[in-house]
A = this chain, B = another copy of it.
Amino acid sequence: MTQVTQTPQIAILGAGLIGVGWAALFVHHGADVRVWDPKPEALKEVEARMRAPLAQLEEASPRTATRGTLTLCSDLSDALSEADLIQENAPENIPLKHALYSLVEPLMMDSAVLASSTSALTWSDLSPGLKDPSKLITAHPFNPPHLVPLVEIFGTDLARLGRAEAIYRAAERVPVRLMKDATGHIANRLASALWREAVHMVQAGIADVEAIDAALVNGPGLRWSVLGAHMAYHLGGGEGGMAGYLAHLGPSQERRWASLGNPTLSEEVQTELVAGVEREAAGRSIAELEAVRDKALISALRARKEAPHV
């Protein structure tokens, strides 16, 4: 495992929600961070918008060393010239990202990693934007990026992947490497598969939106916060583990798969989804719900430090 020995130099490209989350995370963990955005007015607000995530980070994982530095750069070359990791958070638009990469590539160090936070696009979509595609990796954080540890990684240059992962680990992230480029990486494919069945149950009248969310949060969601899905079946197999589970219950799992639904987002189901989350929100605004979520995430992260997950 590559170790980070010097203070890492990080460039954050794009000062939206995700970019600001990354900036706060790296500053909290002692890195020297330079933020660039094509709109100078966006830069002016960065420090103010980092205050809340920095306070949350301090609660989730109190600093043992001093904070890193923050530099706001209106000039792209200032942000890139010494950066070890360049975290790109531009809008999800292939031509726009390609155009940005054509500016970035000549300015970055040979050893640097250009990491795209892209959620919807893939490495194969983005790498044609560079002369040397091996400089690019995808490094997808899970929202909110300063609190949820996962970073999903794909790239082709093993040494560069190793250097990037070491930087993410030093910021208490958990980098997880894909073996093959895939739309939705890993986590959003899992989330999408789960939500398909959740929407199917609403459509089929099996349970309402708020019952499904309550079942998830108090059942499998809670368990998946400490135990992976494969590992859960390993433990579900008793003494025989996964092999025992597959021998005894594999066929019934295949039958269950066949019985899962394939819903469409019809107008009727959309109306019910909107009404359901409104009942669940019980008058709380998006900002209020996010505040509850973040407080609960911080508490869960602290709990993990006391008792590590499987």
| A positions within 8 Å CB-CB of B | 120, 142-143, 148-150, 152, 174, 176-180, 182-198, 201, 204-236, 238-239, 241-243, 246, 250, 252-254, 256-257, 259-260, 262, 264-265, 270, 273-274, 276-278, 280-281, 286, 289-290, 292-293, 295-300, 302-304, 306-310
Contact = CB atoms under 8 A, between A and B. Distances in A.
Nearest to A222: B225
A206 B179 contact: yes
Nearest to A17: B238
A150 B230 CA distance: 20
23 contacts: A148-B218, A148-B219, A148-B222, A150-B215, A179-B205, A189-B256, A190-B215, A191-B229, A192-B257, A195-B233, A196-B257, A217-B225, A221-B223, A221-B225, A222-B300, A225-B225, A225-B296, A226-B293, A228-B280, A231-B280, A296-B307, A299-B304, A302-B303
Nearest to A290: B235
B197 A190 contact: yes
Given A184-B256, A306-B299, A309-B296, A274 B243 contact: yes
B300 A256 contact: no
Nearest to A149: B218
Interface residue SS majority, chain A: helix
A235 to B, nearest CB: 6
A310 B285 CA distance: 12
B150 A236 contact: no
A289 B307 contact: no
Contacts of A212: 186, 190, 228-230
A307 B188 CA distance: 26
Nearest to A141: B219
B215 A186 contact: yes
Given A182-B204, A220-B224, 16 more contacts: A149-B222, A152-B219, A174-B214, A174-B218, A186-B212, A186-B216, A187-B216, A190-B220, A198-B230, A217-B224, A217-B227, A221-B223, A230-B273, A242-B273, A242-B278, A243-B274
A144 to B, nearest CB: 9
Contact of A231 (B182, B277, B300, B306): B277
Contacts of A246: 265, 270, 273-274
A310 B296 contact: yes
A35 to B, nearest CB: 22
